[in-house]
């Protein structure tokens, strides 16, 4: 009986889980820099207050382009 190899060109839940874990690890490793950005700049200087909206814009952009990610290999 020949063995079948499972290959998929589509993005799977496993890929999303791994990407999320890597993103979380990246934030954890650079936590001090993130904290400094939010505490020293975003909270104290109104010219940098737009920093707070950036994560929401990124989430929205990923959501809008989610169909394109299905074609990533």
Q: What is the pLDDT of residues 8-60, one digit of tens each?
A: 667 778 888 998 999 999 999 999 999 999 899 999 999 999 999 998 999 99
Query: What tokens does 5 get?
Result: 């190899």
Tell me how far apart the alpha carbons of residues 3 and 13 are, in angstroms, rounded to a whole number: 24
The proportion of the chain whose per-residue pLDDT surpasses 90, expressed as a percent, equals 56
**Can you give the pLDDT at residue 67?**
81
Query: What tokens does 73 get?
Result: 């290999």
46-64 exposure pattern, b = at least 16 Cβ within 10 A, e = fewer: eeeeeeeeeeeeeeeeeee
Residue 23 sits at the vertex; the CA angle it makes with 22 and 25, to the nearest 5 degrees, is 65
């Amino acid at each position: 009986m020949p063995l079948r190899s499972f290959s998929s060109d589509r993005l799977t839940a496993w890929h999303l889980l791994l990407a999320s874990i890597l993103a979380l690890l990246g934030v954890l490793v650079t936590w001090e820099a993130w904290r400094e950005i939010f505490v020293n700049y975003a909270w104290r200087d109104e010219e940098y207050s737009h920093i707070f909206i950036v994560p929401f814009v990124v989430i929205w952009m990923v959501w809008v382009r989610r169909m394109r990610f299905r074609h990533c290999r």
